[in-house]
Structure 1
């Protein structure tokens, strides 16, 4: 059917200008917005379904439709049929391979509601992309190819959707046209999926038989091809799902502070996105973690002041009192504030090709908070196929495990089950700045609440003054055989002659006692350095100058120790000796054993050494004797006070 202009009225044109655009935007402005994802296994029709939703909701421009028809012919689609997947698979690599690689977000609307849908990849190596799409979704449409049934990736994505707190699950059994719309096939798939869903704690889901390509049960139900189906069409079901923002308004008020808004001396507000609850002028609030109380003076937005604001709104809150509050703090209702802690049990989805290094320092980002964190050895890894809890020393790409995380200072949190904003976090590699994992906090470990820092009267500064010196850590790093211990010993002798109070921590000596339970795997090396760093910090608290002689092969661990100490008290000394020279010396015969395969994970042979990029001091032991190197180091660190 066409209108008087000869154009099919079900498609929008690019001629929307001026008042037409304003009218179109006004039509959709006040509608509720539902975010959902499509997920499942490879080639189950996710992109085709989304293309169909865009097509049926009249969200395609005429020029897009023409291009789509041309692309469909190029891709081999027969007759007048359209390859709807091409609307969503935007990357050239996706179109060439016929798969989804990245997360594609698309907008469409019906008379009742607006939608943002994320088309997530089905391939296992892109599971991290699926987690990204699911993190903000209110619902998940899990597609199953009717010809294949429940597959491994179907289980994985269902488990992740459940883990990420998505309550509204739709089981869309797709490609029913390719199985002759057989009800028995649909019923068997629903039964099998239902058994799996019950195992992982999914309490309910809605099953709909569809054909994304043919349009069966997408906008109207029942399809003429499936008169046996008595439920709603997919669109109608999505229009009636409860939106998470509405449910969030019923919870206690929380607003993580993003920044302090101070355009002039007469205005000091705290800006952020309200994650849960409702706040009104005059409400008593508490700043967490400081615990300071105040009252809401006013609530400001770009459109003016509000009497109240609700979850999902970005606002600036002004308080009656001039109290300390900054980015990372949380403004909450005074009578029911969130908890604070520094030790948690969490579920972690590992998203990096480089495995988790237990004990290594990562950045943890939760709401507007960023802190340093170490992840302990996993308690177990979860087998997605069997739901077994498997013993694990680390987590590899796409693995899901439960582990303790320890932050370097208390953070404001809530269980992920209660709050995505204050319970969901990401881990970031400190060296590459790449996101390596997503996680969900379950609860604070009881010992974290029971262990408190005991304040003492004599400070580290007073310990240093008593010894007439500024505490320091002289961190010697280099290959085995580079001369670290020899040079550190010479430096300590010189400092002793200068009446300085010192202590030398040597790698071999520490492994005889404190670290005798550790081996030489990468994880054990990380833990070795962490413990040494903590001991060195305690010794500097006592006012000592601490010398350490450790290979310490990884930059991340050396940086971790640096961050334990006050600024300028960590001095990295790179004992720069070429591998060939160190191996030629081979005082302990270790290189020979490593070359013959008798000694595994030996630095420089089958385990990497990451040289310092900007050490405070560098000494070349090819050009200097140990005594000359020590004399050079002493001159560099003077004056000592």
Structure 2
């Protein structure tokens, strides 16, 4: 525990966010500054960084070392792996995914941003919006990240010029708007000097917006689970068969979205059998309601056939059940994905056999409107894929639910993850 860290207030919310930026834009330094100035660095970590920095002849600690943890990252001065950092302020808790900037590590950025509620996209004020900026923004848009922060870094190297910042922010906003990004907040910063990262800058009195940390602490992440359709993928069937509970039959899992209520009519998918919720059991005892992401055991009013991989959903709003899956995908394996490949589809708690029917296109992320016809997808490619499954799946479009609209393609021979998929509406 860092003795200088302010105690965490009870009931603080959690924000998951990811950082992205082109190589040498200063992303690792920004993250290091964020951790250092918010007093979220342990004393032994700081001592180790200071020791390495002194060995290099640097008086000030190299804050990039707080995140570039792999030896190859330190030697090359680049981020390779996704580095997760957990920290907190009195106002909020954070899970930070520091993602790589290189094109060949696009798959790592997809991994880090897939669960993020906010993405910080970094640009160098001297270079402005470059191809990697557009690529990372397009990935954030594809993954439906609801909030994007544009951090225009190295403002000290352009004389803290307001016109430079304004031009970059306008260009980025136009591009993001074309991708359907719902919200962009632009902040001029100098990660090296600490301007507008945690503390307001004394060099940019023309900027009246929040610092990066202030925005992270105040951006809205409140979400009403009643607004989403309820989805409970069944993980276990519980039948203790004890003298106390001889007829107990419960269906356990983590609620993926929405809210469940005792007495509500539900449908079991893919069988489409309809019944009602008789009881909801939690770790704290029986409950009348439960909501995502709680783990619960649901008991149904009728003795129906339910097994692992089935989904319990509202009778008046179940997800589509289909064997033909159309998705935007990021291919993450070194082995190419080709038409005709036999794969496994892992969706929530269900895994089924499938075959790749089509690869209609590969996306050019510098211009997402342009799509190229291809015969295969290689590592880090993003494109469209059509898959035919051996058994039906209850699948929401990813635009409606990030949890129940995503799935993986897996190599059936060795279990390697091949492709991360975001379900779309069926192709016309």
Counting only pairs closer than 5 Å after superposition, residues 403-482 of structure 1 correspond to structure 2 as 403-444=385-426
Deviations 1:202-243 (A, max 9, x none): 24311111122222112233x111111121111121122232
Cα–Cα, structure 1 residues 398 and 247, in superposed 2: closer, same or farther, change >3 Å?
Answer: farther
Counting only pairs closer than 5 Å after superposition, residues 109-508 of structure 1 correspond to structure 2 as 109-221=88-200, 223-243=201-221, 246-265=223-242, 266=245, 267-387=248-368, 388-444=370-426
Per the TM alignment, residue 385 of structure 1 is displaced from its structure 2 partner at its CA by 2.1
Cα–Cα, structure 1 residues 129 and 291, in superposed 2: closer, same or farther, change >3 Å?
Answer: same
In the alignment, the residues of structure 1 paired with residue 311 and residue 10 of structure 2 have an alpha-carbon distance, to the nearest angstrom, of 30
Deviations 1:63-97 (A, max 9, x none): 222222112222443x2x22111111221222222
Deviations 1:532-551 (A, max 9, x none): xxxxxxxxxxxxxxxxxxxx
Cα–Cα, structure 1 residues 264 and 225, in superposed 2: closer, same or farther, change >3 Å?
Answer: farther
Any idea what SS the aligned residue of 1:137 has? Answer: coil
Any idea what SS the aligned residue of 1:376 has? Answer: strand
Cα–Cα, structure 1 residues 263 and 174, in superposed 2: closer, same or farther, change >3 Å?
Answer: farther
Deviations 1:506-538 (A, max 9, x none): xxxxxxxxxxxxxxxxxxxxxxxxxxxxxxxxx
Counting only pairs closer than 5 Å after superposition, residues 509-524 of structure 1 correspond to structure 2 as none
Cα–Cα, structure 1 residues 230 and 343, in superposed 2: closer, same or farther, change >3 Å?
Answer: same
Deviations 1:168-222 (A, max 9, x none): 111111121222212122122112222322332324311111122222112233x
In the alignment, the residues of structure 2 paired with residue 247 and residue 127 of structure 1 have an alpha-carbon distance, to the nearest angstrom, of 32
Is 1:37 aligned with 2:18? yes
Residue in structure 2 matching 1:10, options 4, 27, 32: 4
Give the greater-gyration-radius structure (CA): 1
In the alignment, the residues of structure 1 paired with residue 204 and residue 73 of structure 2 have an alpha-carbon distance, to the nearest angstrom, of 32
User: For the Cα contact (< 8 Å) 2:20–2:121, is it kept in 1?
Assistant: yes
TM-score (norm 1): 0.63
* Residue in 2 that maps onto 1:60: 41
Per the TM alignment, residue 394 of structure 1 is displaced from its structure 2 partner at its CA by 1.7
Per the TM alignment, residue 362 of structure 1 is displaced from its structure 2 partner at its CA by 0.9
User: For the Cα contact (< 8 Å) 1:250–1:276, is it kept in 2?
Assistant: no
Per the TM alignment, residue 340 of structure 1 is displaced from its structure 2 partner at its CA by 0.2
* Residue in 2 that maps onto 1:72: 53
Counting only pairs closer than 5 Å after superposition, residues 518-537 of structure 1 correspond to structure 2 as none
Any idea what SS the aligned residue of 1:246 has? Answer: coil
User: For the Cα contact (< 8 Å) 2:20–2:98, is it kept in 1?
Assistant: yes
In the alignment, the residues of structure 2 paired with residue 201 and residue 9 of structure 1 have an alpha-carbon distance, to the nearest angstrom, of 43
User: For the Cα contact (< 8 Å) 1:59–1:108, is it kept in 2?
Assistant: yes
Per the TM alignment, residue 29 of structure 1 is displaced from its structure 2 partner at its CA by 5.5
Per the TM alignment, residue 150 of structure 1 is displaced from its structure 2 partner at its CA by 1.5
Cα–Cα, structure 1 residues 83 and 196, in superposed 2: closer, same or farther, change >3 Å?
Answer: same
In the alignment, the residues of structure 1 paired with residue 290 and residue 34 of structure 2 have an alpha-carbon distance, to the nearest angstrom, of 33
The RMSD of aligned alpha carbons is 2.0
TM-score (norm 2): 0.93
In the alignment, the residues of structure 2 paired with residue 414 and residue 9 of structure 1 have an alpha-carbon distance, to the nearest angstrom, of 46
User: Higher RCO, 1 or 2 (CA under 8 Å, sep at least 6)?
Assistant: 2
User: For the Cα contact (< 8 Å) 1:349–1:399, is it kept in 2?
Assistant: yes
Deviations 1:433-460 (A, max 9, x none): 21111111112468xxxxxxxxxxxxxx
User: For the Cα contact (< 8 Å) 1:210–1:218, is it kept in 2?
Assistant: yes
Q: Which runs of 4+ in 1 moved over 6 A?
A: none
Any idea what SS the aligned residue of 1:47 has? Answer: helix
User: For the Cα contact (< 8 Å) 2:268–2:310, is it kept in 1?
Assistant: yes
Gaps of 5+ in 2: none
Per the TM alignment, residue 111 of structure 1 is displaced from its structure 2 partner at its CA by 1.7
